[in-house]
Amino acid sequence: MKHEDKVFALIDVNNCYVSCERVFNPSLNRKPVIVLSNNDGCAVARSQEAKDLGIKMAVPLFQIQELVHKHNIIVLSSNYALYAEMSRRFMQILSTFVSEHEQEVYSIDECFLDLSRYPQNYDLSNYAQQMRKRIFKWIGLPCCVGIGRSKTEAKMANHIAKKNPHFNGVCNLVEMDPLVTESIFQSIDVAEVWGVGRKHSKKLQSMGINTVFDLAISQPQVLGKQFSVVMQRTVLELQGISCIEIEHTPPSKQQIVASRSFGQRITELNELKEALSMYVQDATQRLRDEKLLCGCIVVFVQSNPFDANIPFYNKSCSYALPQPTDNAVELVKLSIGLLDQIFKEGIQYKKCGVILTGLEPKSTHTYDLLTDMSIIKESDDLMDALEAVQQKFGKKKIAVGPCFIPGRSWSMCRDKLSKNYFKWDELLVIMK
DNA sequence: TCTGGGGTCCTAGGACCC
DNA sequence: TCTGGGGTCCTAGGACCC
C-alpha cells in the first residue's frame, strides 16, 4: 500500500478526568469543574465551563483561587485509579471497531486507529459517529474523532472537531475539500500542531511560520536542518505523507520513574528515607508487573526550584548493578545507600525520586556462569510471598524499610478526592 | 504559604579507540 | 611551529508528549 492511502483516526475523551468524575456525579454537569495534579498543585483537567472562565492548562491552584471563589468552581483531587479503569473500558470498546494490530493506546484518554483498510467498505465519518455513540452509551464518556492521512493530521482533525461544535464530534480531513482544509489550517496557530511545543513555536513564528497552513507548505528538509528530523517528519505528516506508524504493541519500557513532591519541605535524612523507600517499592512493583529486571538505579533529590531566595539544590547519584534484579529489598537497600551520598545538611527538600533503568526482560536474561541460582530462587520466592500478602491483605500491610507511616508531613495532599466507584466498598450509593 | 508526574526521542560533546 | 581522521559509546541537556 502506498503511504498516500493510509488513513488514521484519533479518538480522544473530552476533558477526560472531569468527564470521568461527571459519570458518577451528575451534579457536576454544566458547572465549572477542575481536577488537580498530585499534591493538589495544578489544574490538569478543566470542564468546558472552566476553560471558558479562562483557566489555563497546568496553572497552579494558588494563582486562580480568586476565580475559583468568584465563580464557585468545583475543585477535585485527581483519582487516577478511577480514570485508569474508565480508560481501560474506553479502549476496550474501541477495540471492537478494528482488529488488534490496528489499535494503539496512545495515552490514558487517547487512542489511534489505523483505518487504512476501511475506506472502501465504510463511510468513515459515519463509522466514527458509531464509535462516539457506543462509547457514550456504554460508559458515558463524550469524545471526539479526528481522521487524517497521517497521525499528525488525525491529531489536527481531532482538534478541529473539538473546537467547532458544528462538526458534531467528527472531523474527517480525508474527505474534506482541500480549499476548506486550507482555510481552516490558516486559522489555527502553529503551536497547536502535535510535536510543536512552546520553544519551537516561538522559533517558527520568528521565521514567519505562524499557522498550521504555513507549516504545512514549508519545505520538510529545510526545517529538518533548522530543527531536527522530528520537525521534518511533522511537516511531511501535515502534507499527508505518513511517517509515524501505529504501534499496536507498546514498546518495552526504557525506564521507570517514581517520584513525588512533598506536601511540606523535608530537612531530615530519615524522612527522606521513608519517602524514598516507598517510591522504590512503587517502581519495583511496576518493574515486576512488566516482567523486567533493572540493571541501573538512579536516586535524586531536589529543593524547590521556584524558591527565588535559595539556590536550587538538585543532585542525583546512580549505581550499575553487577547483576540485574527485581528484588525490592535489594533495590531499597541500594537506593538508601545512594541517598546517603547525595544528602546535604541544611537543604529544604521538596522532592525526591528513583529511576530504574538498564531494563531487560526477565524471561530472556542469561545469568553468568558463577551465579548461585539458589539465591535467585530465594529472591523470587520472597518477592512472590510479599506480593501474595499484599494481594490478600492490602498494599499497606507489609513493606520493605520504613514506609507507610501515617500522618507524615511530606505525604501527598489529596483533599478533594472522589471515590473509586469500581471498588466494592466505594460503590455509588443511589438510595439508602 | 501554595508551582505534577511519568515518559520518549534527539543532539552535541567528550572520552576513547585504532 | 607543526599537532589525522573516522568510528563508537556514553552522558547531559533540551525539547516534546499526555
Distance of A226 CA from C1 C1′ (whole Å): 39
Cβ atoms of residues A299 and A317 within 8 Å: yes
Cβ atoms of residues A231 and A218 within 8 Å: no
CA atoms within 13 A on the CB side of A101: 3
Using a pLDDT cut of 70, give the percent of chain A over it: 97
Distance of A206 CA from C17 C1′ (whole Å): 23
Distance of A239 CA from C13 C1′ (whole Å): 31
> What confidence score (pLDDT) does residue A4 get?
59
Q: If we measure between CA atoms, which residue out of A300, A289, A292, A301 comes closest to residue A357? A: A292
The model's pLDDT over A84-100, given as tens digits with 9 standing for 90+, comes to 999 999 999 999 999 99
Which residues in chain A land under pLDDT 70?
Answer: 1-4, 403-410, 412, 431-432
- Output the furthest CA–CA distance in chain A (Å, rounded): 70
> What confidence score (pLDDT) does residue A432 get?
65
Q: Is A108 (CB) below 7 Å from strand C?
A: yes
Q: Is A200 (CB) below 7 Å from strand B?
A: no
Q: Is A60 (CB) below 7 Å from strand B?
A: yes
**Which grid coordinates are listed for A418?**
472522589
Please give the Cα distance from A273 to A335 (Å, whole number).
Answer: 9
Distance of A162 CA from C10 C1′ (whole Å): 44
Nucleotides of strand B within 7 Å of the protein's CB atoms:
1-11
Distance of A221 CA from C5 C1′ (whole Å): 28
Please give the Cα distance from A35 to A43 (Å, whole number).
Answer: 6
Nucleotides of strand C within 7 Å of the protein's CB atoms:
14-18
Q: Specify the residue for cell string 525520586.
A: A353
The model's pLDDT over A118-147, given as tens digits with 9 standing for 90+, comes to 988 889 999 999 999 999 999 999 999 999
> What confidence score (pLDDT) does residue A407 get?
65
Residues whose CB falls within 8 Å of the CB of residue A373, separated by 6 or more in sequence, listed in order: A367
Q: Is A196 (CB) below 7 Å from strand C?
A: yes
> What confidence score (pLDDT) does residue A38 get?
84
Cβ atoms of residues A169 and A129 within 8 Å: yes
Cβ atoms of residues A163 and A154 within 8 Å: no
User: Measured between alpha carbons, how far is residue A329 from residues A293, A362, A396, A398, A400 in Å?
Assistant: 14, 17, 16, 12, 6
The model's pLDDT over A238-288, given as tens digits with 9 standing for 90+, comes to 999 999 999 988 888 889 999 988 888 889 999 999 999 999 999 999 999
> What confidence score (pLDDT) does residue A409 get?
64
> What confidence score (pLDDT) does residue A21 get?
96
> What confidence score (pLDDT) does residue A111 get?
97
Q: Is A130 (CB) below 7 Å from strand C?
A: no
Per CA to C1' distance, which residue is closest to B10? A228
> What confidence score (pLDDT) does residue A175 get?
94
Q: What's the predicted TM-score (pTM) here?
A: 0.92
Please give the Cα distance from A384 to A388 (Å, whole number).
Answer: 6
The SS3 of residue A43 is: strand
Q: What is the DSSP string of A211-249?
A: BHHHHHTS-HHHHHHHS-HHHHHHHHHHTT---S---SS
Cβ atoms of residues A285 and A354 within 8 Å: no
Please give the Cα distance from A5 to A223 (Å, whole number).
Answer: 25
Q: Is A284 (CB) below 7 Å from strand B?
A: no
∠A305-A310-A312 over CA atoms, to 5°? 40
